[in-house]
Amino acid sequence: MRKVLGFALMGAVMAVAAPVNAGLLENQSNPVANGVMTVAPGNNDRSDWNGIPFYQADPTGDAAAIDYEQVQIAHDDTNVYMHFLFAPQASPMFFGFMHNLFLDTDLNRGTGFIGGGGFMSIGADFLIQGTSNHSFVGATQETWGWNWLGGLAWDDFPTTDIELKIPRAAIGSPDAFDLILNAATAPIEEYYPDGATGGAAGDFFRYTIVPEPASIALLSMGVFGIARRRR
């Protein structure tokens, strides 16, 4: 009897621990002091990234010339910073039109670009292609386009170690955003995370700049619930 009860309890705990969105692989928030991060063409100092955690790695060898391996993200009062690491390249792949960073800044797949046939895991409100920032325009997936907003600061030396600086205001000053990475290389397109092409059930990463009041409210409700149960 005890064993049966044990299994029943384990099942209950697992059900509670299941993530709200199965496609959300990881959520990070890495605030840094203003002035710590340096991103500028010709400045290949990467020591500013020491101590910032990586998101879970992408496999090596699953892509052609641009093969993502790892990504780090941090932010300060005015900017979001990204650091991309790639597998060795036979010839340098300079940061440009084949490096696509899709950002879902309202955390809503129902708005923004979801790819042809809806293959993408997020609804991207911004596309950063190399150093160029674009916002999604168009009300539907049938009538849409990308509106060029401007250029961003970066460093791509070496081309397997790229830094990017995104002013928070340039992407609508979001409290958080979901992201997927793509390298539009033929014949094999790279996606990071690999499950980013799984449609509505696909995988993505989240970065939180300002913690949501909603999660604080949920947390306090949880504490209140435990307190009530203990009575």
Residues that bind Ca ion (CB under 5 A): 38, 45, 48, 58, 62-63, 67-68, 104, 106, 108, 111-112, 123, 125, 192, 194
Minimum distance from residue 156 beta carbon to Ca ion (Å): 12
Smallest gap, in angstroms, from Cβ of residue 144 to Ca ion?
12
Contacts for 121 with CB less than 8 Å, ≥ 6 apart: 23, 109, 180, 195, 196, 197, 198, 199, 200, 201, 202, 203, 204
Shorter beta-carbon distance to Ca ion: residue 26 or 62: 62
CB of 66 to Ca ion, least distance (A): 9
* Cβ proximity to Ca ion, 36 vs 219, nearer residue: 36
Q: Within a 13 Å sphere around the CA of 65, how many CA atoms are in the beta-carbon half?
A: 13
C-beta closer to Ca ion: residue 112 or 202: 112
Query: Closest approach of Cβ 6 to Ca ion, in Å?
Result: 39
Going by C-alpha positions, the residue among 206, 185, 194 that lies closest to residue 26 is: 206
Of 83 and 129, which has the nearer Cβ to Ca ion? 83
Torsion of CA 103, 104, 105, 107, to 10 degrees: -150
